[in-house]
Chain A
Amino acid sequence: MIEIKNLTKKYGDKVAVDNVSFSVKEGEILGFLGPNGAGKSTTMNILTGYLSATDGQAKIAGYDILENPTEAKKKIGYLPEQPPLYMDMTVDEYLSFMYDLKKVKVGASKRNHITAICDLVKISDVRKRMIKNLSKGYKQRVGIAQALLGNPEVLILDEPTVGLDPKQIIEIRTLIKNLSQSHTVILSSHILPEIQAVCDRVIVINKGKLVADDTEANLSNRLSEDLRYTIRVEGPEAEVKSMLESIPQMEKVDSLGEKEPGVYEFVIEAEEGADIRHELFKRLAGRNWPLMSLRSSELTLEDIFLQLTKDNAYGGEE
């Protein structure tokens, strides 16, 4: 459905996207993960024809975005990072304008089509209001509604849940999940759990380069969060530390100091594939040092990249 080959984009000397290739199959939800400034938005902007690539090719449903822009663009619904909203229009006027602009052809009448989409993204109650007076969450949803006009085959959503409250985030995720039944979706985010919740396949991009391209399940295994824990133990700091280090398969122990009176915090990291929790509990109980808390540390994006680039098994990285 979507094919990207050796895509490169330079802004002057700065390389924003560096020789990125991937393809997306019909009906797939592809997650596009990377920190801010990684080149996610640039890639999406090229894919939608807003920017031109310095080198390489992008094809949507067989149409090259440079050679057949009009045909390719008809297949795409795009929600840019900042939703492209005219503040001086009401939601209804805006959607009607976008409907005409996109030269939408659907079975239903214009009115019914817009109503259906408004119901879908739950903005029916603000349709008569000026866009500038809407909250950020509603603006974002109007942006999504705009992308959905005409039931495009491909949906490209650049950080669609930014600015929404937790309840709305879950709603939008569910919505995107449901949409994938009839659309091919590319979704970008800098939040790993979001990508994990929604996507079948994940592409990780950092500094313009493709770092990983894998199924969500595989990636999650590789990035297993069970490896690292933050624990609090009541007991003498130095002794606890040396005991922790003596646990087999323990890779690293860092002491974070006293957090409560007599209670010390440690970050412990086990070898890949090892579950040290049993051993940890037994040993602490044996010494009568109460375990006050145990939680797995979330991996930051930096950790993810470190982990993904540690071995080159998954390609992409030179």
Chain B
Amino acid sequence: MQAIFRRELQAYFKSPLGYIYLAILFFFGGQFLVIQISGYRTNEISSIFASLFTILLFTMPILTMRLMSEDKRLKTDQALLTAPVSLNGIVWGKFLAAFTLFLIAISSTVVYFFVMASMATPQWNMFFGNLVGIILLGASLISIGMFISSLTESQMVAAIGGFAAMFFIFMIDSIAEMIPIDWLSSAMSKLSFMTRYNDFTSGILNFSHMLFYISVVVVFNFLTMRILEKKRWS
């Protein structure tokens, strides 16, 4: 697992992908910070996190499109699957690599917090709630993206599929509203990533929300393993 983790993390910085991802997040994060401070003249950090939701969603395929598809295309999955490593090790190794890059990108918010804290009373609790929220959100999106990447050997297809999935997640609430059947509509809105995330940004640390995101990670990583396993049997 460690070997795979290290390789995948290195791979982000061998291609422009890792840099592009960091650049986009740093740029928008910084932009939101500037708007907060000089536009609204407030030290309220939650709006930054709320705005980052969309950015995270639509940049996630950059992070995940390569993860599994590249191995299929280069046939390096043969090296991974014939090495004494479990499927668990392969999938979690790759997941953690993407997650680490995501954490690096998100770490910029710590800087934002201290910038704001230097100008007004720091709202520690608010900040930590937001941070937990965004980390969980990121983790769940990564495992969804990685699952999609495991379905194809083309990075492009994985990227497009990733965008489609992220768009669906983005739209869940609107779709739920459009469904005329009550129970289906409410079931759908339960799946909303945004509502749950918004609770975090308003400072509510809800255990069931945390469990939701963690479940998404576990379920999709498990599905990715099944996809790898399926290939051996077909």
- The listed residue with most A CB atoms (<10 A of its CB), out of B14, B78, B82, B84, is B82
CB–CB A48/B82 < 8 A: yes
**What CA separation (Å) do A103 and B2 show in the bound complex?**
10
Residue of B nearest to A11 (CB): B234
User: Is A80 part of the contact surface with B, judged by Cβ < 8 Å?
Assistant: yes
CB–CB A86/B76 < 8 A: yes
User: Which of A85, A97, A102 has a CB less than 8 Å from the CB of B7?
Assistant: A97
User: Is B187 part of the contact surface with A, judged by Cβ < 8 Å?
Assistant: no
Q: Note all chain B residues with C-beta closer than 8 A to A87.
A: 74
| Nearest 8 A/B pairs, CB to CB | A100-B3, A84-B79, A101-B3, A73-B84, A48-B82, A84-B76, A88-B14, A80-B78
B27 CB to nearest A CB, Å: 25
- B interface with A by C-beta (< 8 Å): 2-4, 6-7, 10-11, 14-15, 74-86, 232-234
A136 CB to nearest B CB, Å: 15
**What CA separation (Å) do A11 and B79 show in the bound complex?**
22
CB–CB B85/A101 < 8 A: yes
CB–CB A85/B74 < 8 A: yes
Q: Note all chain A residues with C-beta closer than 8 A to B81.
A: 49-50
CB–CB B82/A82 < 8 A: no
User: Is A250 part of the contact surface with B, judged by Cβ < 8 Å?
Assistant: no
- The listed residue with most A CB atoms (<10 A of its CB), out of B11, B78, B85, is B78
Q: Mark A182-223, 1 if CB is under 8 A from B, else 0.
A: 000000000000000000000000000000000000000000
Residue of B nearest to A51 (CB): B232
**What CA separation (Å) do A225 and B181 show in the bound complex?**
79
Given known contacts A52-B232, A84-B76, is B3 in contact with A76 (CB within 8 Å)? no
**What CA separation (Å) do A93 and B7 show in the bound complex?**
9
Residue of A nearest to B79 (CB): A84
**What CA separation (Å) do A102 and B3 show in the bound complex?**
9
Tell me how many residues of A have a C-beta within 8 Å of chain B. Answer: 30
**What CA separation (Å) do A52 and B76 show in the bound complex?**
18
Q: Note all chain B residues with C-beta closer than 8 A to A84.
A: 74-80
User: Is A98 part of the contact surface with B, judged by Cβ < 8 Å?
Assistant: yes
Residue of B nearest to A99 (CB): B3
**What CA separation (Å) do A146 and B3 show in the bound complex?**
15
User: Is A178 part of the contact surface with B, judged by Cβ < 8 Å?
Assistant: no
- A interface with B by C-beta (< 8 Å): 11, 45, 48-52, 69-71, 73-74, 76, 78, 80, 82, 84-89, 93, 97-98, 100-103, 146
Residue of B nearest to A71 (CB): B84
User: Which of B10, B74, B78 has a CB less than 8 Å from the CB of A50?
Assistant: B78
**What CA separation (Å) do A86 and B78 show in the bound complex?**
12
A112 CB to nearest B CB, Å: 19
Q: Note all chain A residues with C-beta closer than 8 A to B75.
A: 80, 82, 84
Q: Note all chain B residues with C-beta closer than 8 A to A85.
A: 74, 76
Q: Note all chain B residues with C-beta closer than 8 A to A86.
A: 7, 11, 74, 76
Given known contacts A86-B7, A88-B15, A101-B4, is B82 in contact with A78 (CB within 8 Å)? yes
B213 CB to nearest A CB, Å: 30
**What CA separation (Å) do A45 and B232 show in the bound complex?**
9
User: Which of B15, B82, B233 has a CB less than 8 Å from the CB of A73?
Assistant: B82
**What CA separation (Å) do A74 and B7 show in the bound complex?**
20
**What CA separation (Å) do A100 and B84 show in the bound complex?**
10
A277 CB to nearest B CB, Å: 49
User: Which of A71, A93, A101 has a CB less than 8 Å from the CB of B83?
Assistant: A101
CB–CB B85/A50 < 8 A: no
**What CA separation (Å) do A34 and B103 show in the bound complex?**
51
CB–CB A100/B6 < 8 A: yes
**What CA separation (Å) do A50 and B85 show in the bound complex?**
12
Given known contacts A80-B78, A86-B7, is B2 in contact with A100 (CB within 8 Å)? yes
Given known contacts A85-B74, A85-B76, A88-B15, is B7 in contact with A50 (CB within 8 Å)? no
Residue of A nearest to B81 (CB): A50
A94 CB to nearest B CB, Å: 9
Q: Note all chain A residues with C-beta closer than 8 A to B3.
A: 97, 100-101
User: Which of A11, A50, A71 has a CB less than 8 Å from the CB of B82?
Assistant: A50
CB–CB A78/B234 < 8 A: no
22 contacts between A and B (CB under 8 A): A45-B78, A48-B82, A51-B232, A52-B232, A52-B233, A69-B84, A73-B83, A73-B84, A78-B78, A80-B75, A80-B78, A84-B75, A84-B77, A84-B78, A85-B74, A88-B11, A89-B10, A97-B6, A98-B79, A102-B83, A103-B84, A146-B79
Q: Note all chain B residues with C-beta closer than 8 A to A78.
A: 78, 82
